């Protein structure tokens, strides 16, 4: 995508001065707008919540798990409304809370007794 954007920018700049400037500004705005969505943070939060669920956090760290899910929903809402900074912050909080939920669940979950 970056290579395509650079080619487009060069093409725009080689046009008439006014049109080239307009095209360059438009391309810059599009690149910035598209490049700021917290895709990685959202993915990390979802993965952390799935890991917490698999560790039994729904049963053994209920409050932390529910908070992580709530933070993820907030992040999704912010993302849909293009509030990327707030979405990123909420997704990072969701990830951190899910990690704590997983760790708490692993500590609180009864360990199986080995058979003799």
Instruction: Say what the pLDDT of residue 35 is.
Output: 52
Show the tokens assigned to 63: 């409050």
Cα–Cα distance, 83 to 47 (Å, whole number): 22
Residue 112 falls within a domain, yes or no?
no
Per-residue pLDDT at 63 exceeds 80:
yes
10 shares its domain with 45: no
Which domain, by its residues, includes 12?
2-35
Q: What is the mean pLDDT of the chain?
A: 83
CA-angle at 102, arms to 96 and 106, nearest 5°: 150
Per-residue CA distances from 17 to 4, 7, 30, 62, 81 (Å): 21, 17, 20, 61, 35
pLDDT tens per residue across span 38-55: 999 999 999 999 999 999
Mention every residue, 6+ apart, whose C-beta is less than 8 A from residue 61: 52, 100, 101, 102, 104, 105, 108
Note whether 15 and 72 are same-domain residues: no
**The pLDDT of residue 1:** 46
Co-location of 88 and 69 in the same domain: yes
Asked if pLDDT for residue 66 goes beyond 50, the answer is: yes
């Amino acid at each position: 995508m970056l290579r395509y954007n650079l080619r487009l920018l060069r093409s725009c700049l080689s046009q008439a001065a006014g049109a080239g400037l307009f095209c360059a500004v438009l391309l810059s705005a599009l690149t910035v707008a598209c490049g700021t969505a917290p895709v990685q943070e959202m993915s990390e939060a979802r993965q952390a919540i799935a890991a917490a669920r698999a560790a039994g956090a729904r049963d053994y760290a209920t409050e932390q798990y529910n908070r992580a899910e709530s933070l993820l929903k907030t992040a999704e809402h912010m993302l849909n409304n293009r509030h990327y900074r707030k979405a990123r912050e909420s997704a990072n909080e969701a990830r951190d809370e899910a990690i704590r939920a997983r760790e708490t669940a692993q500590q609180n979950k009864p360990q199986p007794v080995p058979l003799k």
